[in-house]
Amino acid sequence: MPRVKVNDITMNYEQQGSGEPLILIPYLAVDNACYAFQVAEYAKHFTCISVDPRGAGETDKPEGDYTTELFADDISGFMQAIGVESAHISGLSLGAAIGMWLAVKQPQKVKSLSIHSGWTKSDEFLKTVVESWVVMLKATGSVTEMIIAGIFPWCFTPELYAAKPDYIQSLAGFVRSRPAQPPDAFKRQADAVMAHDIESQLGQIKAPTQITFGRHDQVTSTRFANALTENIPGSELIIFEDCSHAPIYENVEDFNRKTLDFLQRHSGKPAKQVTA
């Protein structure tokens, strides 16, 4: 697995496919493998570069405060380190928050922006949910088991649990097969999620933007849709009617088809030049 020095850390990443670069940014507590079901399709059309963010996977996990803006600075430095001037940027949940900050701070680096299960500013409900995961982590002592018992039910609909229990178990097995995140690193990432606030900066995003939500998501629900679509010029909104927080697993075929359509429509075009 390739590793590269970025700012004060060494970042781990995976690269697959050919075509324009597409950087996939993971969500809270996980590594680059979280997009396995997407890379299989995306890599037929794009060079998929899936990263381990600061604090997760095989990337360094230094002490100190983490913020979504710091994560974006890491992605910017990562792109420079591997020689990618601009790329399509895609992320879910925490990954979406990071992508938004990158598009605000380094617009020339973002050919298109895909915001999946994103949010503009952490409200009291979101903070309460994430804090409950921190409490559960203290009880279990294992980020892996906390994800399966505590985060999974927020990511999938009750219908999926009822109809496909074996699938849920296979996803649990997949999580257990990945590098375990240390509890202190999870807490630093969780603090970044709870402190996220990009609402006043959204108007600076100039890249073509796709915004998606699961209809049954509660964590980053469609309550954030208006603030995103109204403040990001020309953005497109898609709702996955049968999904919760993680359409990337709950309806893989529909998610891949609709997101790949957006990416392909905006490939072959230079990143918009933004003047001050």
CATH number, domain of 70, equals 3.40.50.1820
Q: Does residue 30 have a pLDDT over 70?
A: yes
Mean pLDDT, residues 17-31 taken together: 98
For residues 86 and 269, the answer to whether their CB atoms sit within 8 Å is no
pLDDT single digits (tens) 34-55: 999 999 999 999 999 999 999 9
Mean pLDDT, residues 136-142 taken together: 97
Task: Say what the pTM is.
Answer: 0.96
Asked whether residue 106 is domain-assigned, the answer is yes
Count of structural domains within the chain: 1
Query: What is the spatial distance between Cα 120 and Cα 228, in angstroms, rounded to a whole number?
Result: 7
Rg of the chain, C-alpha, whole Å: 17
Query: Domain span at residue 166?
Result: 3-265
Mean pLDDT, residues 210-222 taken together: 98
Predicted pLDDT at 191: 98
For residues 198 and 231, the answer to whether their CB atoms sit within 8 Å is no
226: Cβ–Cβ under 8 A, 6 or more apart, which residues? none
Asked whether residue 94 is domain-assigned, the answer is yes
Nearest to 99 by CA among 184, 30, 201: 201
- Local confidence band at 271 (pLDDT 50, 70, 90 cut-offs): very low
Helix count and strand count (H, E) for the chain: 12, 8
Find tokens 């809270």 and name the residue.
Answer: 28
Asked whether residue 276 is domain-assigned, the answer is no
